[in-house]
Structure 1
Amino acid sequence: MSGQVDFEERRLGPGDEFHVQYMRTLTNSDIIFRFIVTPSYEMGDVQAFKNYIASFPGTVQPKDMEQLMEYVLKGYVVITIESECYLFEAVKTETSGIGEAINEAIVQGPRDALSENIELNINLIRRRYQSSALKIEMLTVGNVSKTTVAILYDADRVDRQVLDEMREKIGGVKVDILQSAGELEKYITTQKFRVFPTMVVTERPDRVVFNIAEGKVAVLMNTTGFAILAPTIFTDFFTAMDDKIQVPLVGWFLKVIRYIGLFMTLTLPGFYVTFASYNPEILKVQISLLIAGSRAAVPYPSFMEVFLMLLMMEFLTEASLRLPKAIGPTATTVGGLILGQAATQAGLVSNIMIILVSAVAISNFIIPLSMMGYTVRVIKYIIVLFAITFGLVGMVVSVVGLILYLSGMRSFGRPYLKMTLLEIKSKGERRNG
């Protein structure tokens, strides 16, 4: 370990009988002093201290030098007693603790989010899922990072084929550094060239628990506050956790609102291009004249107007995410107002285009999971391109093609467009009954 400035090597005991080695930045000094240093001087007897260390929870004896180095770099202390080597667990854990869910905020229900400590995350899940059927399998991924990955599932409800495939894919990940759940999701996805996400990445422990109860597999990762859920169906991305708390009619109403928002954000820009430049006769005369009148001062075609405003909205969205929280919302709100007002007065865009872009942005933001939100932001440009090229026929073809594409997608061998596992089981039970 030469060259490691944080490497400590000491001798303990009344007669310096015990040799201790550890990485200072990875170990908890309080644990070392309390459970190693103090007992080494109080016991005095070598055999008693050896028995004490060997029986301590978390202590292991390394099989070879490679395993010893691996545990030292995790935060274990190497204790050598009479030519016998022990690895004592004294890991220092620096995490942000339990905070509120930010990306998946809800009105009612639990507000805690997953943390960067995998053991704390397992605790959050076990408190909610107090069943002996909940199983946890630990793996290590990353040649350099040695990231701990946990696979959680209900042994009575899980789909064994999905579980075996998940084990195989995680075990086959060969990377040096693994730091986020999004990276792991990318590595274990079968379809490399895909548009829609096939696994849910969530920060909410209650969503993890709900999906485990549905028979799905959850994957937790150390050093990140997110979990991966698989297999996933399309409707999972449009379900907020407080939908389960609402009155059934209200919950269904909220889901319908989200699907209407999905349709609006995908098709409104394309419909604007179609009705403004290709098929104005489909609309009422008054509406067609209204669109034409608002575009009278605009010097370029409708598709350029659409692309200009959609791109400006993308810029504002990205700026709101990257700017410091203290000034981000204010800067983007003021910038959006000034941009829309000035562009309209200058005749660069029409008033209707400003309204349409605002409606597209708002309807995109109602999607509960950001992964699907990013996908929808990309898909709408493809639909606009079809509308530019083929008019209303292109709109119809693009929407039908999108549905066919979703129908052919699979998540761990399971259809992307289908009911949840619980709904299938309940319907089967009703038939059998």
Structure 2
Amino acid sequence: MSVQQDKDNISLEWIKDQLNGFADLIDKTSVAPFGQINLLYIKSVTDAQTLSRHVIAPFYEMESISAYQDYIMTYPGTEEATTREKAIDLLLSGYVLLGIKDMIYFFDAMSTESSGVSETSAESISQGPSDALTEDIAINLNMIRRRYKSTNLKMETMVIGDVSKTKIAILYDDSRVDHNVLKELREKMGTLKVDILQATGELEKFISSDKLRILPKSIITERPDRVVFNLSEGKVAIVLDTTGYAIVLPSIFNDFFTSMDDKIQFPIVGRFLKLLRIIGVCMTLWLPALYVTLTSYNPEIIRVQIALLIAGSRATVPYPSFVEVLLMLMMMEFLTEASLRLPKAIGPTATTVGGLILGQAATAAGLVGNIMIILVSAVAISNFLIPLNMMSLSIRVLKYIFLIAAAFLGLVGVVVCVVGFAMYLCKQRTFGQPYFRLFFLDNLGKKKGGEH
């Protein structure tokens, strides 16, 4: 099966021009005494062993170029491309373009990475793909390119770290990306000076322009499907070697409350789930502060029955409500950290039993009220609703600012913190994009970068 170079204007030069910007595009020429062949393929989706065993080795074992051409034509893995679109699709799928004399062949050398790919652990979903990025950048690029078969998906590579020499790949859709964002990222990466780079979190911290920020402005994800979805949204993905996470930027506040499950569910179900997460964030930030406010400053706001119920539960508590809340929140933080540090075999059991014993003993001893145990449990559960760990950690810290403000100023302090937090969100920018907007730029997928 063959395609002549001038058929439908399919030629090596045209194909290489279409794949311009592919850092993993390999263009080689193999020469033997009887002739030569041209090889063109995408390294991240092509199996090197198949290429070496069934394409290159037989070439040097043949006695003539005609015999090798007959071998390629009759091989079951050879495909015919009668149109430009099919030629590009075959290359993006992992086929090798073979140029022999004036003929073009497409040889099946697809690479499907499965070994070393594990299931997601930090971003689990109930439906959809379950594979996670690995510590091998070649496998990660393979998983991304298999899902995003487009000539517009460009890749740039660089090495960062004077000692570690960490390989980095920058991926973006050239027809959707904002080129101003891409330019700013290149400038920051070009001026980055570091000895050792081992984690995506380190790189995200280095390229951030706001050193005193409390909220993340770039998503760090282990899911290749999240990376692909954000690439289609016009964002940029950074994949590092030796780490199983990728950076997606620019990311807005709304992105951190989106689970990949939301894209699979019915629209009304997906919006309901996102609303639950927003309510969970509000509960995490406000519940401890409101408890202190309603207990110590403004009990007249709530109904008399509830005020008496809270007062009765705190009858034996020897210290102010602020100390009570702070003590239980810190104990919950200790349990959360212990569950992460302990071995997986005993971590959940030890922290669950420890939490139950501590809560029951503290209530029986009169150190905390029963309602306080309910409140702390609600705060902990609502915080875990956030799909991405970076935002979850930030919200965990922010709730103490609300708590301190409530302890000193009461309800006024809570209101001031809410207004100040909203103003802070409205002021923030992520690579020039407004941080506190409900949706990312919807027209990124319709316009060329730099036109909006």
Q: What is the letter of the counterpart of residue 250 of structure 1?
A: V
Q: 2:416 aligns with which of 397, 402, 408?
A: 397
> How far is the alpha carbon of 1:171 from its aligned partner?
1.7
Secondary structure at the residue paired with 2:375? Answer: helix
Secondary structure at the residue paired with 1:151? Answer: strand
1:275 correspondence with 2:275? no
Q: Note the residue ranges of structure 2 that are not aligned, 5 or more in a row.
A: 1-48, 62-113, 448-452
CA distance in 1, matches of 2:422, 2:284: 16
1:134 correspondence with 2:153? yes
* CA shift digits 1:389-417 (9 cap, x unpaired): 10001000001100100111111111101
CA RMSD of aligned residues (A): 2.0
CA distance in 1, matches of 2:288, 2:438: 30
Q: 1:167 aligns with which of 179, 186, 205?
A: 186
Change (3 A) 1:324 1:403: same
Q: 2:426 aligns with which of 407, 414, 421?
A: 407
> How far is the alpha carbon of 1:172 from its aligned partner?
1.4
Corresponding residue for residue 288 of structure 1: 307
> How far is the alpha carbon of 1:422 from its aligned partner?
5.3
> How far is the alpha carbon of 1:174 from its aligned partner?
0.5
Change (3 A) 1:285 1:424: farther
Corresponding residue for residue 89 of structure 2: none
Q: Note the residue ranges of structure 1 that are not aligned, 5 or more in a row.
A: 1-30, 44-94, 429-433
Identity %: 64
Corresponding residue for residue 220 of structure 1: 239
Q: 2:323 aligns with which of 296, 299, 304?
A: 304
> How far is the alpha carbon of 1:380 from its aligned partner?
0.1
Conserved 8 A contact 1:96-1:115: no
Q: What is the letter of the counterpart of residue 221 of structure 1?
A: L
TM-score (norm: length of structure 1):
0.76
> How far is the alpha carbon of 1:138 from its aligned partner?
0.2
Corresponding residue for residue 66 of structure 1: none
Conserved 8 A contact 2:233-2:445: no
> How far is the alpha carbon of 1:423 from its aligned partner?
3.1
1:108 correspondence with 2:120? no
CA distance in 2, matches of 1:345, 1:153: 58
Conserved 8 A contact 2:176-2:445: no
CA distance in 1, matches of 2:124, 2:173: 26
* CA shift digits 1:218-253 (9 cap, x unpaired): 000000000001101001100000100001110000
> How far is the alpha carbon of 1:179 from its aligned partner?
0.3
1:232 correspondence with 2:251? yes
Pairs within 5 Å for 1:354-365 = 354-365=373-384
Secondary structure at the residue paired with 1:103? Answer: coil
Corresponding residue for residue 79 of structure 2: none
CA distance in 2, matches of 1:289, 1:424: 55
CA distance in 1, matches of 2:296, 2:424: 28
> How far is the alpha carbon of 1:96 from its aligned partner?
7.9
Q: What is the letter of the counterpart of residue 402 of structure 1?
A: F
Pairs within 5 Å for 1:250-269 = 250-269=269-288
Q: 2:196 aligns with which of 150, 171, 177?
A: 177
Conserved 8 A contact 2:173-2:234: yes
Q: What is the letter of the counterpart of residue 270 of structure 1?
A: A
> How far is the alpha carbon of 1:419 from its aligned partner?
3.8
CA distance in 2, matches of 1:267, 1:398: 10
TM-score (norm: length of structure 2):
0.73
Secondary structure at the residue paired with 2:168? Answer: strand
Conserved 8 A contact 2:135-2:242: yes
* CA shift digits 1:28-48 (9 cap, x unpaired): xxx9xx99xxx9xx99xxxxx
Conserved 8 A contact 2:177-2:444: no
> How far is the alpha carbon of 1:385 from its aligned partner?
0.5
Corresponding residue for residue 25 of structure 1: none
Secondary structure at the residue paired with 1:139? Answer: strand
1:315 correspondence with 2:334? yes
Q: What is the letter of the counterpart of residue 164 of structure 2?
A: S
Corresponding residue for residue 60 of structure 1: none
Structure with larger RCO (C-alpha < 8 A, sep 6+): 2
CA distance in 1, matches of 2:439, 2:413: 32
Q: What is the letter of the counterpart of residue 183 of structure 2?
A: D
Change (3 A) 1:161 1:425: closer
Runs of 4+ that moved beyond 4 A: 424-428
Q: What is the letter of the counterpart of residue 343 of structure 2?
A: P
> How far is the alpha carbon of 1:425 from its aligned partner?
5.6
1:211 correspondence with 2:230? yes
Q: 2:164 aligns with which of 136, 145, 148?
A: 145
> How far is the alpha carbon of 1:420 from its aligned partner?
3.1
CA distance in 2, matches of 1:424, 1:314: 42
1:244 correspondence with 2:263? yes
CA distance in 2, matches of 1:165, 1:419: 23
Corresponding residue for residue 355 of structure 2: 336
Change (3 A) 1:331 1:122: same
Conserved 8 A contact 1:141-1:171: no
CA distance in 1, matches of 2:444, 2:251: 16
* CA shift digits 1:68-88 (9 cap, x unpaired): xxxxxxxxxxxxxxxxxxxxx
CA distance in 1, matches of 2:305, 2:446: 50
Conserved 8 A contact 2:227-2:237: yes
Q: What is the letter of the counterpart of residue 381 of structure 1?
A: Y
Pairs within 5 Å for 1:70-109 = 97-109=116-128
Conserved 8 A contact 1:150-1:220: yes
CA distance in 2, matches of 1:160, 1:130: 21
> How far is the alpha carbon of 1:167 from its aligned partner?
1.1
1:188 correspondence with 2:207? yes
Deviates more, 1:165-174 or 1:214-223: 165-174
